[in-house]
Amino acid sequence: MAHLSRLTHKRRESVVRRRVWGTAAVLILLTGFTSTAVAQAAPHRPEPLPLERLFDNRAVSADDRAGEADFDGSVSSLSAGDLTAAGWTPGRVLGVEGARLTWPRTAASGPDNVRADGQSVRVHGRGDALAFLVAGTGGDATGSGTVRYRDGSRSSYRLTAPDWRTGPLATKSVALPHRNTPGGQLAEKTRLYVVTVPVTRGREIASVDLPRDPGAADLHVFALSVRSPAPGWTGTWSASTAGYAAVGPWADRTVRLVVHTSVGGPRVRIRLDNTFASAPVRVGSATVAVQDTGAGAKGEPVPLTFRGAAGTGIPAGAQAFSDPVSFDVPTGANLLVSFHLPEAVASAPVHSQAIQRSYVSLPGDHAAEASPASYTSTITYWPLLTGVDVGGGPGSVVLLGDSITDGVKSTPDANHRWGDVLATRLREQDAVPRYGVLNQGISANRVTGDRYPGDGVSSDTGGVSALHRLDRDVLSQTSARTVVVFQGVNDVRAGFSGAQVVAGLREIARRAHARGLRVVGATVAPCEGELLCTAAANREREVVNAYIRDSGGDFDAVTDFDAVVRDPGHPARILPAYDSGDHLHPGDAGLEAMARAVDLSALAP
């Protein structure tokens, strides 16, 4: 009871301290008198302040002085040592989901966050979203706020900050191994989250009112920024982080990854993601080249830089874009993206089913070498690299899918995924923009449930659910215009109901529409004959497909892949000519038939 009393008293003091009184309210409270001038002044809002000037709580403590911070009202706090080990050092700029957020310079030395209660924050810029670095204490914290624009208009948003001790690991930006208390450090995971909310595109933001009334919980904001779109860039290739797996181990090795472009352009940049990691990773140098054969390049590889430096360190959970470089990226060609890892790397974020051979070198930095001689071993997954962008272009179509989209059972090294065929079709026509195609398929992925838990080294690389990865894999992709959602078969094979899958697909469509994307639904292909594709699973698949075909406006268009690949004489099965042989995955012919059935006009607004 004493603890609850102290906590209640602390929160009551917090509310009073955060309340912003106008001059009139102060005079009424103290004297009961209101002058005309004061009465007229009362409606004025407080001047927006930089976020750090509103900090009123300390969340981070030095490990030997844990009692100096009280994040949650019970004198618990985040470990400064754990944060440093993750690369989250005071003042560090963190790239997360296309946004740039600064970890507070005061972390471990003073107030480092604000408990949201309607405070007005000075924020400038134009973009597609606001990115908040947040956590809840006392439970998940949800509240509504306001974005104010320079033209006098405003928009509202709703934000949920998952709890720092119990929130989902699948959506966290970083998880730390300890919780600091005055009685000692506890081996209990703590979390921080980056959450994005939509804003009105094209309008310049002047300020943001933080959420009010998060209920019994406190909503803590550590950083806030406008996520700006990437004008002048189009995504030409991408891969989703499917898990965090053991690799190598590599020390002083160069990784040379083979990726296939969908569109070309005169400039290039790459994106590296340290998703799901607990420690930073160091890249010593990086290059890009057009593939000749194997690990050999056509011409000398072109050096890449990161904010002017040859290499970069990527904190746990963060990402890094290379600087733009002039480089003639051909359409429909293989690139070699090479990067040197000077320090030991025993685990890394990976896309497990590349359906493509890539290469690892002998010891040393061999990124600048055109010769394949130093690249003596092969891998069939993509570590760290998640995107390649080209200058110019109309933007991209994102394919959110599972192993069928990933290209499992297609011919390795041949680029016969249905997304590759779709990209070829787009390049060969003039009726709609020649979009880039970004393949965000993950083998074994589901709409509703996580395969990979979202933290730690695991052999399961089925990814977190489509719902949990939507922000990272779709909404923050470079110049995304349209998303094609083709998932659900793994859910029904795992025993989820059609109604559960429908609820997930409906949420995906709603969230994508809120960011201005066009949403195309694709029906789930048949799979009778595969071990887990029982009669019960097929009935649930049909429930999902009935919804997709008549979603009541949730989708802007529908692509009926079920009708394309099914056997007319046995609709629960894939047509034998399209079956790879496992009765679940179409082979090359089936994947091509799917891509050719897509109405290209459905991809464009």
Q: What is the pLDDT of residues 187-197, one digit of tens each?
A: 999 999 999 99
Task: Clarify whether residues 365 and 413 are in a common domain.
Answer: no
DSSP-derived pairing of the beta strands 518-522 and 557-559: parallel
CA angle 96, 101, 102 (to 5 degrees): 135
507 vs 12, residue with greater confidence: 507
Task: Clarify whether residues 306 and 181 are in a common domain.
Answer: no
Task: Clarify whether residues 103 and 12 are in a common domain.
Answer: no
- 233 part of a folded domain: no
pLDDT at 25 over 70: no
Per-residue tokens: 564:
């394309």
Task: Clarify whether residues 398 and 530 are in a common domain.
Answer: yes
Q: What percent of the chain has pLDDT over 90?
A: 91
Task: Clarify whether residues 291 and 418 are in a common domain.
Answer: no
Task: Clarify whether residues 313 and 349 are in a common domain.
Answer: yes
Give the span between the Cα atoms of 210 and 204, in whole angstroms.
Answer: 18
Domain of residue 460: give its range: 394-605
pLDDT at 15 over 70: no
pLDDT at 170 over 60: yes
Task: Clarify whether residues 218 and 343 are in a common domain.
Answer: no
Total domain count for the chain? 4
pLDDT at 40 over 60: no
Which of 35-55 are b and which e, b meaning 16 or more Cβ less than 10 Å from the residue's Cβ? eeebeeeeeeeeebeebbebb
The amino acid present at 248, given as its one-letter code, is G
Output the pLDDT for position 20: 36
Output the pLDDT for position 216: 82
Last residue of a domain, one of 336, 363, 386: 386
Q: What is the dihedral of CA 302, 308, 311, 316, to 10 degrees?
A: -130
The rounded Cα 183 to chain-centroid distance in angstroms is 37
Which of 115-148 are b and which e, b meaning 16 or more Cβ less than 10 Å from the residue's Cβ? bbbbbbbbbeebbbbbbbbbbbbbbbbbbebbbb
Coil, strand, or helix at residue 34? coil
Last residue of a domain, one of 357, 386, 415: 386
Q: Is the pTM of this model over 0.75?
A: yes
Structure confidence at residue 14 as a pLDDT band (50, 70, 90): very low
The rounded Cα 408 to chain-centroid distance in angstroms is 23
Q: Point out the least confidently predicted range of 217-231, 429-443, 560-574.
A: 217-231
- 232 part of a folded domain: no
Task: Clarify whether residues 182 and 301 are in a common domain.
Answer: no
- 542 part of a folded domain: yes
Task: Clarify whether residues 201 and 264 are in a common domain.
Answer: no
- 141 part of a folded domain: yes
Residues with Cβ within 8 Å of residue 64, at least 6 apart in sequence: none
Task: Clarify whether residues 58 and 156 are in a common domain.
Answer: yes
Q: Map tokens 């003073």 to a residue.
A: 110
pLDDT at 390 over 80: yes
Task: Clarify whether residues 107 and 53 are in a common domain.
Answer: yes
Per-residue tokens: 116:
């949201």
CA angle 165, 102, 481 (to 5 degrees): 90
Structure confidence at residue 368 as a pLDDT band (50, 70, 90): very high
- 235 part of a folded domain: no
Last residue of a domain, one of 364, 386, 408: 386
165-180 average pLDDT score: 98
Distance from first CA to last CA of the chain, Å, rounded?
59
DSSP 515-540: TT-EEEEEPPPP-BTBTT--HHHHHH
Output the pLDDT for position 11: 44
Output the pLDDT for position 44: 64
